[in-house]
Amino acid sequence: MRSKQRTSTGENQNIFGSPLLDTWTSPKNPTHPVECIKCNQIIQSGGVTYRNEPWHRECFCCSNCNTCLAGQRFTSRDEKPYCADCFGELFAKRCTSCTKPITGIGGTRFISFEDRNWHNECFICAMCRNSLVGKGFITDESDILCPDCAKQKLM
């Protein structure tokens, strides 16, 4: 764990006469300032730790869109951090109906059948548009149908 300590030029001293410190230093070597893993510059303040590595807050960004991730929801893939939006666009399953990513953010539930996936709200009969969540359904090529509509269509 890195300790956040501050260094000083000597003019800012606290009431005990010790210098006020401004730079992150390594707990293994307190005289050695910590460098950001991305830009290799010394972290003066506002650093974050990701995968046990130090980063400037402004250097800790989404690997795809460069949005700052400090204080934001993010995830990773292949050791690279991604914002939730980019991760969904790049790696998530796609809803068969609306083609938007199925991310699971916010407890989103989804249905999977064979090689197809749907958001719960998109899992509806192609004819009557009623929800099929928790109900029986019949597939007709790329469509999913409730039993009543399937009976009408096939007769």
What residue ranges define each of the domains in the chain, with the CATH number in brackets? 1-60 (no CATH), 62-91 (no CATH), 93-154 (2.10.110.10)
CB atoms within 10 A of CB 87: 23
Tens-place pLDDT, residues 36-63: 999 999 988 878 888 888 989 999 999 9
Q: Average pLDDT, whole number, for the chain?
A: 79
Output the pLDDT for position 116.
94
pLDDT, mean of residues 80-100: 91
**Type of residue numbered 20:** L
Sign of CA dihedral 135, 139, 140, 144: positive
Closest listed residue to residue 40, CA positions, set 53, 52, 22: 53
Pairing of strands 80-83, 74-77: antiparallel
| Lowest model confidence (mean pLDDT) among 98-102, 107-111, 117-121, 140-144 | 107-111
Q: Provide the pLDDT for residue 72.
A: 85
Confidence (pLDDT) at 107? 65
